[in-house]
Amino acid sequence: MPPRGGTDGADSPPDQTFDLPQGAETTSVSKAAIPGGSALVGTSTEMIPFDGEGPQRRLRVKPYLIDTTAVTNARFSRFIDDTGYVTEAERIGWSFAFFAHLPEGVEAPERVPEAPWWRRVDGADWRLINGPGSEADWHPDHPVVQISWNDARAFAKWAGGRLPTEVEWEHAARGGLGDVRFPWGMAEPDDETHMPCNIWQGHFPRVNTGADGHIATAPVQSFAPNGYGLYNMCGNTWEWTADPFRIRSLHRQAKARQAAAKGHKICKGGSFLCHRSYCYRYRIAARTGTSPDSATTHQGLRLVYDP
């Protein structure tokens, strides 16, 4: 996941102060109650060790509520209408989009060196997710994307919630099943017969068959929910957490990644661009980190609430 400034150095948005109301959301949204107690986080079977997936450990959590779906475009629109908030992508004037989804005529030659399928697109933001001319890609019941960590925190303040910690996110994603790899259990998705979440089918990054019915984001209530009634905890869009990205490892490569990720925040869940051959991060214990001002077409959010 590319950090902001990954193509030509960091950009800083203009100073802007928002006197956002606390807990001003008036529309009821679906939430699930998650029990407190002992919660698993991480894994003893690391698939991408230098992401810091392990070691597995148990931590205590208090009971909390969580959105049953990712925050939708419709819900985020209400936040914008109520507050006049301007997202970081809008203030900076550009964001990242996947090359195969760019509208015809959009020029985006500047790419992320280590992930050339990501293009810097002028005018890309949460309304025009793939840049000017991509109005048709915006759907009210799809997860809002092109949202930075800073934007997510602003939204959370208005909604009366907060971003989950990594352990809260994993505890909810497990759906009461314990030490499982996916929200539905241990069964691996494939490209043809078992497609329980919205990920890539085909050969990344050139061929996506869309066998699961989706080439990009899916409506937030697509696919079966987990045991707690939560939709799309893996696949569809990455979800921001409150926690800084840290790696518990003394290995030289892991330490180098930790140094490069200074200031980054944890994202969980993977996205529609994940495939086992490339980005096997649509697992509960999988994680990545990116800069808090970063925004892409596969980053969204889900909130938790203290009862």
Both structure tokens of 305? 């609430």
- Between 48 and 146, name the one with better pLDDT: 146
Q: Is residue 17, in this structure, part of any structural domain at all? A: no
Whether 250 shows a pLDDT value over 70: the answer reads no
> How many H helices and E strands in the chain?
5, 14
d(CA 177, CA 175): 6
d(CA 86, CA 18): 9
Q: Measured over all CA atoms, what is the biggest interatomic distance in the chain, rounded to whole angstroms? A: 53
Q: How confident is the model at residue 16 (pLDDT cuts 50, 70, 90)?
A: very low
Q: Is residue 27, in this structure, part of any structural domain at all? A: no
CATH code: domain of residue 202? 3.90.1580.10
Question: Do residues 23 and 159 make contact, with C-beta atoms less than 8 angstroms apart?
Answer: yes
Q: Is residue 213, in this structure, part of any structural domain at all? A: yes
Q: Is residue 15, in this structure, part of any structural domain at all? A: no
The pLDDT score that the predictor gives to residue 255 is 67
Q: Is residue 74, in this structure, part of any structural domain at all? A: yes
Cα angle vertex 236, ends 41, 283, to 5°? 30
- Between 9 and 238, name the one with better pLDDT: 238
Question: Do residues 151 and 79 make contact, with C-beta atoms less than 8 angstroms apart?
Answer: no
Q: Is residue 186, in this structure, part of any structural domain at all? A: yes
Number of domains in the chain: 1
**Full residue range of the structural domain in which residue 288 is found:** 39-84+126-305
Q: Is residue 121, in this structure, part of any structural domain at all? A: no
Whether 173 shows a pLDDT value over 70: the answer reads yes
User: Is the C-alpha dihedral spanning 135, 201, 264, 186 positive or negative?
Assistant: positive
d(CA 202, CA 273): 11
Whether 168 shows a pLDDT value over 60: the answer reads yes
